[in-house]
């Protein structure tokens, strides 16, 4: 990371949960792929299946995930960065 007098570098907290919403989207994709009638058996099939499922994730699920972030952050702070129900 480039150094700058305006940026204070912080050590990575020992109990830092992943609050990246994209991780939850990857989980959604994985579950959707696993639930398919015939799962992909090669990389080109997997690529196609991922693209199909990506396009079919309902927008309300993405919206709910984004809207849940303040609640997730508060839970993380309340638990001092340890396990949360998310």
The parent domain of residue 67 ranges over: 42-81
Please give the residue that has the higher pLDDT: either 21 or 86.
21
> Per residue in 2-33, is it b (16+ CB within 10 Å) or e — as a string?
eeeeeeeeeeeeeeebeeeeeebeeebbeebe
Q: What is the pLDDT of residue 4?
A: 74
Task: Find out whether 29 and 54 touch, Cβ atoms under 8 Å.
Answer: yes
Tell me if 8 is assigned to some domain: no
What is the tens place of the pLDDT at every residue in 45-83? 999 999 999 999 999 999 999 999 999 888 888 887 777
Tell me if 23 is assigned to some domain: no
Q: What is the pLDDT of residue 34?
A: 94
What is the tens place of the pLDDT at every residue in 30-48? 999 999 999 899 999 999 9
Tell me if 49 is assigned to some domain: yes
Count of structural domains, the chain: 1
Tell me if 56 is assigned to some domain: yes
């Amino acid at each position: 990371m480039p150094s700058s007098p305006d940026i204070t570098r912080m050590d990575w907290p020992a109990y830092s949960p992943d609050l990246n919403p994209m991780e939850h989207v990857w989980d959604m994709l994985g579950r959707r792929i696993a639930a398919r009638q015939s799962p992909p058996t090669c990389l080109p099939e997997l690529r196609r299946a991922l693209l199909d499922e990506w396009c079919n994730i309902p927008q309300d699920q993405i919206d709910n995930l984004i809207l849940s972030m303040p609640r997730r952050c508060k839970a993380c702070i309340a638990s001092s960065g340890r396990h949360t129900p998310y």
